[in-house]
Amino acid sequence: MAVNRVAVAALAAVFLTSTPLAAQKKIERRVPLGMEGALRIVNMVGGVVVHGWNKDTVLIRGTMSPLDRFYGGGGYTGVKFGIESGSESDPKPARLEIWVPARVRLWIKTATANIDVGGVDGGLDLYVVSGTIDVNGSPRELNAEAIDGDIHINGSPSWVRAKSASGVITFHGASSDAAFSTVSGAVKVDGGVFERTKVETVTGDINFTAAKLDRSGSFDFDSHSGAVTVALPERLGVSFYAVTIAGTVTNNLSDKRPTPGRFGRGAELVTELSGGGAKVSVRTFKGAVVLRKAK
């Protein structure tokens, strides 16, 4: 009898463990879409993974709750699809993996679902409330917004805008026109060639490292109380202006020392390196400013 009770308990445990998996509905769809068509995806809870490929077809695979509904429609120039939750008070996660034409114009909206996009060369417009956004590749345009999540970009989009409230923004690559902003999250940029860049935070720290700045470009860094570190290679033509109302300025790029602030506190630095060139402006209220050589 004891053995039978153990066997029954084991079977019950297996049944209870496997029920959530068995309850998931599988999704598999193929939809024709032109290589430069438009695609809109909505999945509020779970995750969305996107791969670019050289086919004029969208392939969608995934799982969702039996109560949820998969919807979609469109034509060769534009397609929209998403997951409609069967319970607004208790939405269940849906996992989508999608292959799209590489030059597609892609728009994704989620709430608590992570977004992961790779190999898409067209335009990306990505929005999440509390999930993470990961982009690998060099889309033509990239707009990414996470209210309470991190944004990680590994590539060289020509035009990029990334915004988060409390999340961290990391960027590794290069860009002709880049702008990053957070409230309390840090911004970390480690890249190659930049032509124009703007970084803004309130309390988050800013770390910017570049291999080269376009001599005619402008680069602005602003924070209220976050520390700002700008690292550049030696012999780069740069015109610097750095000011902090109540913080400090440390210059490890040249022998020029900062002067006391105009109001008897803080510091200010105006200097040129290698004859001047790219205009770099750093402003903080009470955050420390550090200019150093890139490693």
Mean pLDDT over 26-55 rounds to 96
Whole-model pTM: value is 0.89
Q: Is the confidence at residue 24, as pLDDT, over 50? A: yes
List all residues 6 or more positions away from 59 whose beta carbon is below 8 Å from its beta carbon.
28, 29, 30, 98, 99
- pLDDT given at position 19: 41
For the chain, give the mean pLDDT.
91
The confidence score (pLDDT) of residue 209 equals 97
The helix/strand/coil state of 114 is strand
Q: What is the pLDDT of residues 65-81, one digit of tens each?
A: 999 999 999 999 999 99
Note the pLDDT tens digit of each residue in 223-276.
999 999 999 998 889 999 999 999 999 999 999 999 988 767 899 999 998 889
Residue 48 confidence (pLDDT) above 60: yes
Residue 60 to residue 3: CA distance in whole angstroms: 47
Reported as a single tens digit per residue, the pLDDT across 141-163 is 999 999 999 999 999 999 999 99
Residues 70, 27 contacting (CB under 8 angstroms): yes
Instruction: Provide the CB-side half-sphere exposure for 253 (13 A, CA).
Output: 29
Residue 75: predicted pLDDT: 94
Q: Which of 138, 53, 64 is nearest to 99 (CA)?
A: 53
Q: What is the C-alpha to C-alpha distance for residues 14 and 64, in angstroms, rounded to an integer?
A: 21
Residue 67 is predicted with a pLDDT of: 92
Q: Which residues pair with 240 in a beta bridge?
A: 271, 280
- pLDDT interval class at 12 (50, 70, 90): very low
Strands 94-101 and 57-64: antiparallel
Structure tokens at 136: 């690998």
Contact yes or no for 238/272 (Cβ under 8 A): yes
pLDDT-based confidence at 4, cuts 50/70/90?
low
Model confidence over 116-150: pLDDT tens digits? 999 999 999 999 999 999 999 999 999 999 999 99
- Please state, as a whole number, how many other Cβ atoms lie within 10 Å of the Cβ of residue 133: 27
DSSP letter for 60, please.
E
Backbone angles phi, psi at 2, to 5 degrees: -60, -40
d(CA 165, CA 182): 5
Q: What's the pLDDT at 38?
A: 98
pLDDT band at 1 (very low <50, low <70, confident <90, very high): very low
Q: What is the mean pLDDT of residues 91-98?
A: 95
Alpha helices in the chain (DSSP H): 2-23
Q: What is the CA radius of gyration of the chain?
A: 25
